[in-house]
């Protein structure tokens, strides 16, 4: 078994990374290995030196890769070589001396409350299985702030109706409980009735909450298409994807007085620093209020 496959097995079975993350790691490592082979005639990843990695970064920049993409690819190498180092395969980690290009911090893109009111109050979804499912997907994403992958992995048993919470398995297999209101709980119950009628539940062993029209577990592209389709009807914002609803969830909570630490816990962020990006929009609103309300605000 080659080193790349050993590493992929490690993150799949021991670290239990999400499938889309494993796919990204696989692509990055194979791309780097191809570069080494073409540029340096090297097949052995254990002999890589820092200049080789810097050369790859330069090629990525010449190929017009943005800084965040380069960061992700080098992060993959860092994880890979850390794995080799921890297993005694290499002594020195060639990524330790590599300086990454500066990332431009982008503000989280979100959908405003009026547009979301229009989405849930005026857009026609249809009363068949697909329409009810699509509306609930949007509702769950916005009401809980969960990630696309977390939504896909939801099972019926993760919904605790009596406690009004949803159990979510986040990054690093960390479980968190997200509260829901009665309105959303009842929407899920109504959806499950349609779901059970639409599929032969006694014969299916698929416990995923959200299914395709063929009874299979939803896949990432399908969730993206659903969200993009309906958000396109209420906003011209550039980002009309599931993560925009996660950003909206956090931004609206903060704007309405929620504690930043509580938002961190709801989002499943490992550090408060990741949650602090939402304070920009809150500060902008605060400054606007100050200018309007304070005698010396202008």
- Give me the active site residues, please: 147, 171, 243, 246, 269, 278
Query: Cβ contacts of residue 253 below 8 Å, gap of 6+?
Result: 145, 262, 263, 266
pLDDT of residue 282: 54
- The CATH number of 113-290, from 3.40.50.2300, 1.10.443.10, 1.10.287.110, 3.30.160.150, is 1.10.443.10
Query: Cβ contacts of residue 158 below 8 Å, gap of 6+?
Result: 166, 167, 168, 209
What is the pLDDT confidence band of residue 199, given thresholds at 50, 70 and 90?
confident
Query: Is the pLDDT assigned to residue 297 strictly greater than 60?
Result: no
CB burial of residue 206 (10 Å; 0-12, 13-18, 19+): middle
- The CATH number of 3-86, from 2.30.30.40, 1.20.58.220, 1.10.150.130, 1.10.3720.10, is 1.10.150.130
Give start-end residues of each CATH 1.10.443.10 domain in the chain: 113-290
Give start-end residues of each CATH 1.10.150.130 domain in the chain: 3-86
What is the pLDDT confidence band of residue 255, given thresholds at 50, 70 and 90?
confident
Which residue's entry shows tokens 């030196």? 49
Query: Is the pLDDT assigned to residue 256 strictly greater than 90?
Result: no
Query: Cβ contacts of residue 16 below 8 Å, gap of 6+?
Result: 172, 173
- CA dihedral sign, ordered 113, 119, 120, 122: positive
Average pLDDT of the residues of the chain: 88
What is the C-alpha separation between 218 and 210, in angstroms, rounded? Answer: 6
- Indicate the Cα dihedral angle 153, 71, 45, 1, nearest 10°: 0
Q: Residues 11-37: what's their mean pLDDT?
A: 91
The residue that leads in pLDDT, 81 or 102, is: 81
């Amino acid at each position: 078994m080659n080193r790349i496959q050993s590493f992929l097995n490690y993150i799949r079975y021991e670290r239990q990374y999400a499938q889309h993350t494993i796919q990204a790691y696989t692509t990055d490592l194979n791309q780097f290995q191809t570069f080494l082979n073409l540029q340096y005639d090297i097949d052995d990843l254990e002999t890589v030196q820092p200049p080789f990695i810097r050369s790859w970064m330069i090629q990525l920049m010449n190929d017009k890769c943005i800084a965040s993409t380069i960061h992700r690819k080098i992060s993959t190498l860092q994880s890979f070589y850390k794995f080799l180092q921890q297993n005694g395969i290499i002594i020195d980690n060639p990524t330790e001396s590599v300086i990454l290009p500066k990332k431009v911090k982008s503000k989280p893109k979100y959908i405003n409350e009026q547009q979301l009111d229009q989405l849930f109050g005026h857009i026609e979804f249809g009363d068949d299985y697909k329409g009810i499912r699509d509306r609930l997907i949007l509702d769950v994403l916005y009401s809980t702030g969960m990630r696309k992958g977390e939504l896909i992995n939801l099972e019926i048993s993760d919904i605790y109706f009596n406690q009004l919470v949803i159990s979510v398995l986040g990054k690093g297999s960390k479980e968190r409980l997200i509260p829901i209101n009665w309105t959303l709980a009842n929407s899920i119950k109504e959806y499950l009735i349609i779901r059970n009628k639409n599929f032969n539940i006694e014969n299916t062993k698929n416990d995923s909450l959200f299914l395709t029209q063929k009874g299979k577990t939803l896949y990432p592209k399908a969730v993206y298409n659903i969200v993009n389709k309906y958000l396109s009807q209420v906003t011209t914002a550039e980002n009309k994807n599931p993560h925009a609803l996660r950003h909206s969830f956090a931004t609206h909570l903060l704007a309405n007085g929620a504690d930043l630490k509580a938002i961190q816990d709801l989002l499943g962020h490992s550090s408060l620093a990741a949650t602090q990006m939402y304070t920009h929009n809150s500060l902008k609103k605060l400054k606007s209020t100050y200018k309007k309300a304070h005698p010396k605000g202008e």
